[in-house]
């Protein structure tokens, strides 16, 4: 009497192969989810930086840097908290560096920091 079917060893080997494939696919999905979350945070940081630059555009484009009426950004190159609005999850700092001459260009830098959430 010859029965057709799979032996226990064949079933176990196929289950091990399926488990390895499933583990590989799972790690790909977890990595993809992390990259999406990270990309969203980076896009949010760019929007925060753009908003801060737009709020301060009138002072950035001024012919003279008026430290008396706008003391938040002295043109000495030190980092200062510049966010007039709170952005949950983001820390915003600004820095102004004066050019070589008194009336020359200024470099304004906005730095946005955040901590990546754990998945």
Give the mean model confidence (pLDDT) for residues 59-85. 64
In a domain, 65, yes or no: yes
Count the neighbouring beta carbons within 10 Å of the beta carbon of residue 109.
Answer: 13
Termini Cα distance of the chain = 56
| pLDDT over 60 at 101, yes or no | yes
| pLDDT over 80 at 1, yes or no | no
In a domain, 108, yes or no: yes
Instruction: Give the DSSP letter of residue 114.
Output: -
pLDDT tens-digit readout, 9-64? 999 999 999 999 999 999 999 999 999 988 999 999 999 999 888 887 776 665 55
In a domain, 85, yes or no: yes
pLDDT tens-digit readout, 26-35? 999 999 999 9
- Contacts of 107 by beta carbon, 8 Å cutoff, 6+ apart: 96, 97, 99
In a domain, 118, yes or no: no
3-state secondary structure of 6: coil
Count the neighbouring beta carbons within 10 Å of the beta carbon of residue 93.
Answer: 16
In a domain, 1, yes or no: no
- What is the total count of domains within the chain? 1
Higher pLDDT, 89 or 75: 89
Domain enclosing residue 87, as ranges = 8-113
In a domain, 98, yes or no: yes
In a domain, 54, yes or no: yes
In a domain, 83, yes or no: yes
């Amino acid at each position: 009497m010859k029965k057709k079917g799979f032996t226990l060893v064949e079933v176990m080997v196929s289950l091990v192969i399926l488990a390895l494939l499933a583990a590989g696919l799972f790690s790909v999905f977890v990595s993809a989810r992390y990259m999406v979350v990270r990309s969203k945070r980076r896009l949010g940081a760019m929007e925060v930086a753009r908003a801060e630059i737009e709020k301060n555009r009138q002072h950035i484009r001024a012919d003279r840097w008026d430290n008396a009426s706008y003391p938040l950004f002295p043109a000495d190159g030190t980092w200062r908290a510049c966010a007039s609005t709170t952005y949950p999850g983001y820390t915003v700092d600004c820095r102004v560096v004066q050019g070589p001459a008194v009336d020359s260009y200024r470099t304004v830098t906005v730095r946005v920091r955040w901590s990546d959430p754990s998945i």
